[in-house]
């Protein structure tokens, strides 16, 4: 992430946006225990999630951000530096998985699809994968100048989740964002 983006993702404004937005993404979903979070960044969403999920593992590819997220270790959270396209867990290790506003940082659609397949692999049958991402706007583009930004098209994302093995797929759009969920089918 570029410096402006890193600053914003640590900001009180982003914390407030997450406090208000996460319920829209995960409301009514039983994510169970343990929960996997892919791409926590500096861990603001992790801090919110841990209130309701006593055992979480967060996997972050950026070493500096992973170190920052480690402030939550010892509070039911384990933070690993790792790549969501190659998760270091056995099949069926998690009851639920989440990712929030991070898929557009995965550098290609092919790697995004690999991440979806990996999350499917590490979920237990019946486990839910839920998340959100931003939709393109000028402000979103400006925030990502000199940064990785492979915008996910919500109109085709349901089919991509199904191709990765998920069933009961839902994708809902609002201005500027979309949420998704899918269930691991055995």
Domain locations along the chain:
3-184
- Nearest Cα neighbor of 132 from 108, 160, 95, 104 is 104
CB contact at 8 A, 181 and 29: yes
Per-residue pLDDT at 8 exceeds 80: no
Q: Read off the tokens for 110.
A: 């092919």
Outline where 40-153 has alpha helix (H).
44-49, 63-69, 109-122, 138-143
CATH class of 3-184: alpha beta
Residue 131 is predicted with a pLDDT of 97
Partners of 130 in the β-ladder: 98, 181
Query: Tens of pLDDT along 131-159?
Result: 999 887 776 666 666 777 789 999 999 99
> Is the pTM here over 0.85, yes or no?
yes
């Amino acid at each position: 992430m570029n410096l402006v983006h890193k600053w914003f993702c640590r900001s009180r404004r982003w914390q407030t946006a997450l406090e208000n937005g996460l319920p829209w993404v995960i409301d009514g979903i039983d994510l169970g225990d343990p929960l996997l979070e892919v791409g926590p960044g500096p861990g603001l969403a992790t801090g919110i999630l841990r209130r309701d999920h006593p055992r979480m593992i967060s996997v972050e590819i950026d070493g500096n951000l992973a170190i920052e997220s480690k402030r939550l270790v010892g509070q039911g959270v384990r933070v690993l530096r790792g790549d969501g396209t190659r998760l270091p867990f056995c099949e069926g290790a998690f009851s639920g998985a989440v990712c929030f506003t991070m898929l557009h940082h995965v550098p290609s659609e092919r790697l995004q699809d690999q991440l979806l397949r990996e999350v499917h692999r590490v979920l237990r049958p019946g486990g839910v994968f839920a998340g959100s991402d931003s939709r393109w706007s000028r402000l979103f583009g400006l925030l990502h100048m000199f940064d990785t930004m492979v915008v996910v098209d919500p109109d085709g994302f349901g089919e991509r989740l199904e191709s990765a093995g998920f069933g009961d797929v839902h994708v809902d759009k609002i201005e500027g964002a979309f949420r998704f969920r899918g269930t691991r089918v055995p």
